[in-house]
Amino acid sequence: MQPPTRPWLTMAEPTPIHHVSNVFTVMCYNVLCDKLASRQLYSYCPSWALSWDFRKNVIMKEIKQYDADIICLQEVESGQFESFFLPELKTAHYYGIFSPKSRAKTMNEQERKRVDGCAIFFKTKKFELVNEHLMEFTFLAAQTADGEGSEEMLNRVMPKDNIGLVALLKTKKVEIDMAEKPSEFENMQPFESQPLVVCTAHIHWDPEYCDVKLIQTMLMMRELQKFIDQSATMFNISSNNEKPQQQIDPNSIPLILCGDLNSLPDSGVVEYLSRGRISVEHPDFKKLAYKLCLRKVCPIVDQNEKEYTHSFDIVKAYADGVLPFTNYTFDFRGVIDYIFCSRRLFSVLGVLGPLDTSWFSKHRIPGCPHHYIPSDHFPIVAELELLTKKSLAELEKQKQQQQQQEKNLDNKSGNNNNNNNNNNNSGNNSNGHIRR
């Protein structure tokens, strides 16, 4: 009755001159905290399989099985981070950072232990922590609540205390046994440490508050812009322009953004992240008067004030349709968990594929958690190659070579067609003489 193994889907090969330190895996996983795993919500799951003492070990087994280099978790309770996740993952050579939701600040020590939040773990042999930053959407919303739309911002957005957590990492050189597979390393470029920003977030859950989800996402992207400006200064990364007063290009530092966004692929949240823009009249704003407040958060594209924008060029690691769902319960099934990465600075090499959906129907499983599935969410995993300047140059070279090959084939095909036409014309002339 155990679920079948999820397949690994290869999307691309690493660049020929890549350094192994620049290829790594990222996991995103909402682990379903104990406080929210109630019998009222998950009555189809036996009590023993719903208990944290049982589920936590299955969750940890799953995390260690996938062995990702970077792990982003949501719904981690404060007490469980300290007593379980951090010590367990330290034994597997990870280090982690964590922050609970904003409500923890109003509670005593015992109550705080039950507040869930977000965590980022990374393998210490591959990464070094340079800086971290907490994004509290409650306080960010309060800062923008001035003028038209402030009432909605204060009454709808500010009370939702979701958070985002950001880590600035630096890649470390991974020691390699060159004798093991020498052919794989003969073209490998010299190691050069790279900065990397990892952000995870847990966006508000309620479908009736799609406006809140979208605004939390907009606040997050503005905070990321500020954080990357600071990070670029730390690493002496200059802007694409030469005017120091202008903002740093946010795409100059690699970004991985992942989390439980509680938003389907056709939502305003995913549209805004994927396209970098969204209409000021998008239905997800629910026709509420946020416009003046949001002008402080997002630049507006044109003089007609038609779209809010952000400056990041990011892409989903999973193409649409690869996963039928990332959350599976009795009354909801859909994709709401995502991994995004910088389009120009990463190549997506592969992703963890879906669980065979026939397993659920065959065993009449109405939803998760389940004996073998410890959360109502499924972990998603992507393998990424961080592209250096040399890697990008190599990719451009390959692209030009491919275009030249295609051009040569087209020319060859054209020459063959011309020869055939000449032969046909010659035949027509001959036949014409015969007919005469």
Whole-number average pLDDT of the chain: 89
CB 338 within 8 A of CB 13: no
Which of 34, 260, 284, 376 is labelled catalytic? Answer: 260
**Residues 350-363: what's their mean pLDDT?**
97
Least confident of 153-157, 217-221, 290-294, 376-380: 290-294
Mean pLDDT of 79-85: 99
Give the Å distances, CA to CA, from 220 to 166, 200, 304. Answer: 10, 10, 25
Phi, psi of 57 (to 5 degrees): -75, -35
Q: What is the DSSP letter of 241?
A: S
| Banded model confidence at residue 184, pLDDT cuts 50, 70, 90 | low
Question: For the residues 192-198, what does the mean pLDDT come to?
Answer: 93
Give pLDDT, residue 298: 82
Write b or e for each residue in 6-22: b if 16 or more Cβ atoms lie within 10 A of its Cβ, otherwise e.
beeeeeeebbeebbbbb
Q: Locate all alpha helices (DSSP H) within 116-157, ordered by sequence.
A: 137-144, 150-152
Tokens of 128: 């070094």
Query: Among residues 265, 162, 270, 281, which one has the least CA distance to residue 212?
Result: 162
> Which tokens sit at 23?
């290829």
260 in catalytic set: yes
**Which residues are within 8 A (CB) of 300 and not within 5 positions of it... i.e. 6 or more apart?**
280, 306, 307, 308, 309
Q: Which are the contacts of 173, defined by CB distance < 8 A and separation ≥ 6?
A: 21, 191, 193
pLDDT at residue 429 in the model:
43
Asked if the model's pLDDT at residue 370 lies above 70, the reply is yes
For residue 146, pLDDT beyond 90: no
Taking only the tens place, the pLDDT of each residue in 262-296 is: 999 999 999 999 999 999 999 999 999 888 788 87
pLDDT tens by residue, 289-345: 888 788 878 866 555 568 999 999 999 999 999 999 999 999 999 999 999 999 999
Distance of CA 360 to the CA centre of its chain: 27
pTM of structure: 0.88
Is the preceding peptide bond at 254 cis, omega within 30 degrees of 0? no
